[in-house]
Amino acid sequence: MDRYTVISADCHAGADLLDYRPYLEAKYHDDFDAWAATYVNPYEDLLADTADRNWNSARRVAELEADGVVAEVVFPNTIPPFFPSASLMAPAPSRTEYEQRWAGLRAHNRWLADFCAQAPARRAGVAQILLNDPAEAVREVRRTRAAGLTGGILLPGAPPGSGIPELYSQVYDPLWAVCEELDVPVNHHGGSASPPLGDEPAARAVFMVETTWFSHRALWHLVFGGAFRRHPGLKLVLTEQGSGWIPGVVEMLDYYHGRLVAAATRATTAESKFGAGLAASMGASPSEVWRDNCYVGASFMRPHEVPLRDRIGLDKIMWGSDYPHDEGTAPYSREGLRIAYAGLPPEEIAAMTGGNAARVYGFDLAALDRIAAEVGPTVEEIAEPLKEVPPDATSPAFAPGGSVRVW
């Protein structure tokens, strides 16, 4: 092995706003025209001259190859039709708007299938769904899988006050069942589960403190809700939420799991009511569920997280560049890999930078190896510790300090 085959498990793409129109059912065209005419994009990066990185396939391939990346898992980024922003968590206030938003997500998914087809075997597109109607979500999972989207689904958040059932609810069992049946990964991306915080000056700081925690909730909701007991083949991927928090949180969940199961067998204790019925419904311990069913999209993995890789699970970690976001490592992904992984055994680096993602998302690793033989970072290069951070690097991967942070 002279070069690493690097698959980014966290990239983002989407169509330019008006380019979604051909992918909408015709009956929505007039409504789309009216909506698009008044829409104001809230995101500066989608107005900049670099916005076409989201939809310009040739530019994207060239920039990723220059960055040493040969394949990508493609999460959404631009705004789908009829949405005020990219957030999927808030329920639509009316039936009409709900139907329009589903039409917008189907349009994005159709566009994404075509976009992935422009770089065969190099893109695993992540389909978007809503949770308000699980039967409709199941239909979209089947349709997008048949259309060639291999990145799974993006699981929306269900924050407090959202108006939809919490993720531990068995109402979602049909969705987990079809994902298990079709081997469709369930992806939960950071930032997609926080409740609205308002416009007070402290809102941004509170968001930064809480946003990853709200994203982590999907793990313990599905564990304690018994989703993995009823669907043992279900795969959950937690992406761009960090990875250093995992060992401690899994240990904490194991503690509560054991405590609740034990309490259920002692009817005279004050805690017995909390454990009643849980012993049978939860199934395996959280650490066993993590071992058998869960993965982490460890976007731009930080140096302080790397020593925890064995506790996280070396076969669980999938590096991501977060292209084309400002917080991503591009165009310095080689330097990002060096600052995190220099000095590690090459076989471990190969697993975290490509092998694990190929297994989870079904990439043809042999085919990608042939591309990486030309553009992938060399083993010798990544083995060299990074002594100087590029002065214009914007990714938190290069932030100083952080040696004791584990969340």
pLDDT tens digits along 364-385: 999 999 999 999 999 999 999 9
Q: What is the mean pLDDT of residues 127-144?
A: 96
62-71, 94-103, 156-165, 182-191: which range is least confident on average?
Answer: 156-165
Helix (H/G/I), strand (E/B), else coil: 122: coil
pLDDT attached to residue 267: 66
Q: At residue 82, what is the residue type?
A: F
C-alpha 362: how far from chain center: 16
- Residue 4's alpha-carbon distances to 35, 213, 306, 369, in angstroms, are 45, 32, 18, 8
pLDDT > 70? residue 407:
no
**Would you say domain 6-398 falls under CATH 1.10.10.10?**
no
pLDDT digits (tens, 9 = 90+) for 192-207: 888 888 889 899 899 8
User: 238 and 293 in contact (C-beta within 8 Å)?
Assistant: no
pLDDT for residue 197: 85
Confidence check: pLDDT of 347 > 50: yes
Residue type, 289: V
- Give the model's confidence band at 402: pLDDT under 50 very low, under 70 low, under 90 confident, else very high: very low
The span from the CA of 42 to the CA of 189, in Å, is 20
Paired with 318 in beta bridges are 297
The one-letter code for the residue type at 268 is T
Please state, for a pLDDT cut of 70, what percent of the chain lies above it: 96
* 201 C-beta neighbours (distance < 10 Å), count: 6
Q: The pTM is what?
A: 0.94
* pLDDT tens profile 320-337: 999 999 999 999 999 999
More confident residue, 401 or 19: 19
CA angle 229/234/235 to nearest 5° reads 130
Residue 401 has what pLDDT? 58
- The full DSSP string for 352-396 is IIIIHHHHHHT--HHHHHHHHHHHSPBHHHHHSPP-S--TT---G
Query: How far is it, in rounded angstroms, from Cα 362 to Cα 121?
Result: 9
Q: What is the DSSP letter of 3?
A: B
Predicted confidence at residue 148, as pLDDT, reads 97
pLDDT at site 406:
35
- The secondary element (H helix, E strand) that includes residue 85 is none
Q: What is the C-alpha to C-alpha distance for residues 51 and 276, in angstroms, rounded to an integer? A: 53
Does 269 have pLDDT greater than 80?
no
CA distance 145 to 126: 10
Residue 193 · residue 159 · CB < 8 Å: yes
User: What does the pLDDT read at residue 405?
Assistant: 36
- Residue-wise over 352-389: b if at least 16 C-beta within 10 A, else e? bbbbbbbebbebebebbbebbeebbbeeebbeeebeeb
| Structural domain spans, the chain | 6-398
Q: Do 41 and 17 contact (CB within 8 A), yes or no?
A: yes
Counting residues of the chain whose pLDDT is more than 90, the rounded percentage is 78
185, amino acid identity: P
Decide if pLDDT at 151 tops 70: yes
Q: Where are the alpha helices (DSSP H) in 4-94?
A: 29-38, 57-66
Q: What is the mean pLDDT of the chain?
A: 92
